[in-house]
Structure 1
Amino acid sequence: MGETKVTIATRNPKVLYQTVKLLESLEVGFSVCNPGDSECDTANVVITTEDEAWSAIDSRIVKVGPDPDPDLTAIEVKMRLLGIKRPSITAIGVDPGMRIGLAITMDGRPVHTKTVSSPVEAAKLTLDWLYHVTKKYSEGETLVRVGTGSPLYSVLYLRGILGKITATRIELVNEHHTTVGGGADSDQSSATIIASRHGRVPSGSDILIEPKEEYVRSLKQLFARLTDGRRSLTTGRARSVLTGGTSLEKLLDDSN
């Protein structure tokens, strides 16, 4: 993928800086030119701003706003590099845990992956990705497949997306044999495998979890980590989160 031609065509310094950083992080080879330069004619993918785009029908063009979203831009760039135009099935795989891996696949092909440390952030990213895909490629089917290997993190994630997704099927996937090695990106690899597996539809019991001491302790550690040690969670509030009396998202918002 690094040899494929991507061109950034913009005079906007902020957009240029952010897209250069993004493509470098993706290890995608690229060049830079002004909008409309001849170099744009030979590129496989052209990234430009909505104001500078010179064509509304050129499928190679990825139009970005004044503050490009790195994940959504990456998805659009990689779709073009992979030759995906109108995906019939888009699946987001989620590997819950202390490090939560997310992967988006289209028609069975891995498109983009990411790792986050918060089930709240993972849920928000999932909703953002789904909104983008369903808005641009509404004729396709969308799925969210969630691994069940970590009960606490699976429940916290599911609570963040259930009831907020329309026209999207959620499946719970057995994580057996989804761990590939133990490298820094193993959670992303697991999420990619999860995205490819069929699962079962969640029931009401799948968002319930007993307030066991081990879960109370893990939730306290998670809260301290997400607040950079500035705040601590009482046992009572931890139990309230586990039993559904309050949400982790609300407690994190209150701590800011």
Structure 2
Amino acid sequence: MSASASVGEARTARRDDDDPVVPARHPGRWLALLSLAVLATMAVHLLVTNERLQWPVVWQYLFSKPILTGVVRTLELTGIAMVMGLVIGIVVAIGRLSPNPVLSKVAWLYSWFFHGTPLLVQLLFWFYLSVLLPRISIGIPFGPGLASAGTNTLITPFLAAVLGLGLNEGAYMSWIVRSGILLRTGDDGTNSGQRQWAVHLAVSSGRRPSSCGMPAHGRRTHDPAVSVNRSVSRGTGHGANVGFR
């Protein structure tokens, strides 16, 4: 009885294997695709046929000197702020991972303050610094000054924009770099293999995040860093509020 049942099951399984495999139908996907195609066609038709858009005027001013000058100034300010923010972010991130409690708290305070303060407020602070400090001097603390200059002379609109954007991005980058170092690592930014390598080479605990952790985890911070740099590029528009042209 069991032998005949096994033969029957085998024949049923063979027939099931011989049945053709039919892919599942998804009419909803095709309907959504068709709807998007219709909407895109309508949008293109509106852009091409609407005379109120005045495309000749748009092309006339698109590559004019003021527009191109603005693009160059935006790229210039973005590049300087990116480099400044990256350097500050790496230094602050390493400082937060330092075993020195004073250095770690100071780095945390910097990242907390500049990360939580609106960008426009920071730009206005640097631009109107002369209200608090009419002159900036260099000399002996609480003693005579060796050199001084007017704050408005030193803090130009361009420098105010650079300081505001660079310090703000440095705070964001410090969180990103620190997260990339700590991801799948220990509290000092190194995993067990890197920690053993550092011990054999007599690398101090303070230098381990920069010597071992940073090179191994730089790729993890790429995408968040690119996102922050996009925000900096958009934030250059706030420079107009401090007279940057």
* TM-score, L = length of structure 2: 0.18
Larger RCO, structures 1/2 (Cα 8 Å, 6+ apart): 2
* TM-score, L = length of structure 1: 0.17
